[in-house]
């Protein structure tokens, strides 16, 4: 438990120390299986995320499908909102954390106690 708390505090400190960033643009998942495009929506720094490309055809996810909804700024280089998982058809609490050209997306349950995260890298172009 102490180790987990130390890791969480270290990650929080690292994210807080980063300069304010812009998560808008195209992102590729580290395993190369998908690309997401985050775009401003609704004003006030709010972002929405759409599936821009996927490696595997088939399955319930569709290119152009909105997967991240109303991601509002939640501290420096962080956003919070909701995410849709097309594989199970459910919405989850979502978090985005930006550090340079790296983005972590997380879908959470139980008030953020249990999260599954994915790492993304900015994919060339940048659209704001």
If phi over 0 gives left and psi between -120 and 50 gives alpha, with beta otherwise, what is residue 31?
Answer: alpha
**In percent, how much of the chain has pLDDT > 70?**
81
pTM of this prediction?
0.78
Q: Which CATH class is domain 2-122?
A: mainly beta
**pLDDT surpasses 60 at 20:** no
pLDDT in tens, 45-102: 999 999 999 998 888 999 999 999 999 999 999 999 999 999 999 999 999 999 999 9
Question: What share of residues in the chain are helix, strand, coil (percent, to 5)?
Answer: 15, 50, 35
- pLDDT tier at 21, thresholds 50, 70, 90: confident
- pLDDT tier at 110, thresholds 50, 70, 90: confident
């Amino acid at each position: 438990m102490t180790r987990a708390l130390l890791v969480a505090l270290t990650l929080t400190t690292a994210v807080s120390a980063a300069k304010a960033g812009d998560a808008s643009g195209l992102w590729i998942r580290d395993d190369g299986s998908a690309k997401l495009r985050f775009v401003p929506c609704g004003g006030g720094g709010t972002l929405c995320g759409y599936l821009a490309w996927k490696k595997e055809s088939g399955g319930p996810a569709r290119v152009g499908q909105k997967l991240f909804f109303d991601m509002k700024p939640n501290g420096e280089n962080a956003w919070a909102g909701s995410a849709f998982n097309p594989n199970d058809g459910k919405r989850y609490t979502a978090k985005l954390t930006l550090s340079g050209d790296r983005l972590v997306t997380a879908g959470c349950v139980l008030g953020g106690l249990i999260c599954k995260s994915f790492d993304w890298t900015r994919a060339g172009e940048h659209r704001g």
